[in-house]
Amino acid sequence: MKRIGQILATVLLAPFGIAIGLLVFGVLGLISIPMSIRGHFEHRAWLREMHSEHRTITPSGIAERGQSGTLIVDQPGWGGKARYCWWTPDDLDSLSPAQITPLADRIKSLESMLDADSLPLDRWIYDTYLSRVCGTAYLVTTKRGDLIATQLQTDMVNLKLIETWSAPVAEFGPQNAG
């Protein structure tokens, strides 16, 4: 008899639990739609701004300017999936005020302390080259920037490549404090 009661409880309560779950996840899904749309339009506005300020360049434009300089592959988000490719005619190896180390090493150093000052190279690259306000680098692409940069470097041997992570620098930087 106890077994029958358990089966009935399961049969009667399971659809109720599923319905509650669908309702909760449905509401969360609906809430995320406006945020996703907003993010899309903000990104498009940023791309238009970069273009109107003449801060975009095509790979053929880099070749026309002499095929030298530095490609900056930036990870602008926390998730690590997006990679933007930027180009500057500057030689970042010779200009950098901080030692250029692999990005993976810099990310490991940040894991112990969530502080943008622990990324001096990334801070300098962001402030000097990537910043919306005072950056000087040219945006090449916001899609698969790491692959585009590798192909450009293969085609144009005088290009150097540096990886950076602007997410913590942009979020925790001094211009965002206070």
Q: Does the pLDDT at position 151 exceed 60?
A: yes
Can you tell me the distance from the alpha carbon of 160 to that of 69, in angstroms, rounded to the nearest whole number? 6
pLDDT confidence of 67, banded at 50, 70, 90?
confident
Phi, psi of 161, deg, nearest 5 = -135, 130
Please report, for the chain, the start and end positions of each structural domain, with discontinuous segments joined by +. 1-52, 54-176
Range scoring the smallest mean pLDDT among 62-71, 87-96, 140-149: 62-71
Averaged pLDDT for residues 74-84: 81
Q: Name the E strands within the chain.
A: 69-74, 84-88, 138-141, 159-164
pTM of the predicted model, to two decimals?
A: 0.72
Question: What are the φ/ψ torsions at residue 95 (nearest 5 degrees)?
Answer: -95, -20
